[in-house]
Amino acid sequence: MEDIHYEPRTIHQRLETLYSKEDSKEAAKLLDALIKKYKQRITSSEYHLSEKDTILISYGDQVQHPGEAPLETLKLFLDKYLKEVINSVHILPFYPYSSDDGFSVINYSEVDPKMGSWKEIKEISDNYRLMVDGVINHISQYSHWFKAYLAGDEEYADFFIDMDPTSDLSQVVRPRETPLLSEFVDTNGKIHNIWTTFSRDQVDLNYANYKVLIAVLDAMFYYVEKGAILIRFDAIAFIWKEVGTPCVHLPQTHELIQLMREVIHKVAPEVIIITETNVPHDENISYFGSGKDEAQMVYNFALPPLLAHSILQEDTTAITFWAKTLTLPTDKVCFFNFSASHDGCGLRPVTGLLTDDDFDALVQNTISNGGLVSYRDTPAGKRPYELNCSFMNILSHPDDENSLKVKRMLLTQGVVLAMPGIPGIYFHSLVGSQNYHAGVKLSGINRTINREKFNYDYLVDLLNEDSSIERIIFSAYRRLISIRINEKAFNPFGKFKFLDINKKVFAVLKHSLDESESILALHNFSNDTISFLLPDVSKKELKDLLSNTNIKQNENVTMQPYQMMWLKF
């Protein structure tokens, strides 16, 4: 990988890019005090990502047991069923919240008492590498910060963006159908039109006020003190606003992320910054920056819809074409690969990668399989931006044979594990959950379809039932992970290459850091038995780690429907 020349900039230089000379001086003083404060409270320890890292994505109350804090129950499940294969856990927002299943935070520094306390968070972080959410584009309308703002508290003046409703905001990119501005009335009866990118309950923070930056960094340091090793910057692309611009991916946004990383690393250089930007692929990867100064991991958002498209079309042309464009600016950054998350399957990331007909096919398939579709406003009218459906049901109809559902699901998960980078596994993918329609009826929110919470005993019974689809997928998934974490060729920073072998096969060649070990991962995306000659990548005999069989270089390889092979040289 090319090692881009990088000239580090001081914190003060970065502040002067964002703020006036006077404000940047004051901000520098406050940041220096913040750094000194947390250096006394945080013990830094070395940490490097490797093939051993697999991140489970889970709600804090994902599994529940009567009379027990859900975070305690989550740790029980992790310890009993996943400790040998999962070393990291992303606990989705566990703070007090008012909507959006945690992403409308009321208080950054507390744990929702319905989930538990910092005691349970510490117990998890003592045993697993902890990933937390920095929900820092917006905060709840019920937060102390916003209430104080409406009460006229000078400490919170300009913490939020109050706009003249006649302002021309036509260029602003909208991720939702909801209004950009929402009316609020302060304690004196004055009306404020507050910038709300995502919903009325999620009021955007105003980073043009340096005091907001200081307050947010204080919260991020607090998470590190409580055990966070990875911090996910939620919806970060929208964080800086400038009227007359699209207000997404602005230069100030990148500068702000780089500044926050620089400040956090002054205290804890081991912390990994992950950016969540559900946007077209070329825009998404811009958050790697130079490869040394911005996000260390970027969500590979194009992967889920391309996996679904490839399964439905039984054709890997599109995903292979895209994969061949994957490059990294340095060997210090990598992709965060996933197939599903607490959100739906975003379609914007494959803009330009799939045709309008491909989009329509995905939408119609999702609806036919019992899923839902969310839309957003664009200059061309309403466009689908997200498939709301369990990933299992995107790939297969509910009436399909379980054997077909399992094969398709496991194949896509195998790709997630084989891709260059770190795999993130949503809890529901791990156990093969299907659409949760009852939850949507209760909440009225499309995304609830993939956010079901489990009674611990009920889930355990499913995982112990020999013929259950949950047990079959869970057991097979654990085996795949157990193989992956013991192979150096799956190191996230090793060299990689994608190969054209057969339009039904997705093939990735992975190398260990020292290139002494290699794995050719093959995935048959069709319901056909296919045969082909292996590419000339090794003169040695290969061993399929999944079936424990050997294959000679000059022999034809036969793959069964939806079969995968991880061939080690």
What DSSP letter does each residue of 409-456 carry, written as one string? HHHHHHHHHHSSSEEEEEHHHHTT----HHHHHHH--GGGGG---EEH
Contact between 26 and 34 (Cβ < 8 Å): no
Give backbone dihedrals phi and psi of 494, rounded to 5 degrees, phi first. Answer: -75, 160
Active-site residue, from 53, 101, 204, 234: 234
Dist CA 274 CA 236 (whole Å): 10
Q: 3-state DSSP call for residue 101?
A: helix
DSSP string of 200-243, one letter each residue:
TTEEEB-TTSHHHHHHHHHHHHHHHHTTEEEEEETTGGGS---T
100 is catalytic: no
295: left (phi over 0), alpha (psi -120 to 50) or beta: beta
Beta bridge mates, 498: 508
Q: Give the phi and the psi of residue 171 in degrees, each rounded to 5.
A: -80, -10
CA-CA-CA-CA torsion sign (465, 70, 220, 153): positive
CA dist 160 → 171, 172, 311, 392, 463 (Å):
20, 17, 45, 40, 47
Of how many residues is the chain composed? 569
* 223 within 8 A of 231, measured Cβ to Cβ: yes
Residues classed as catalytic: 234
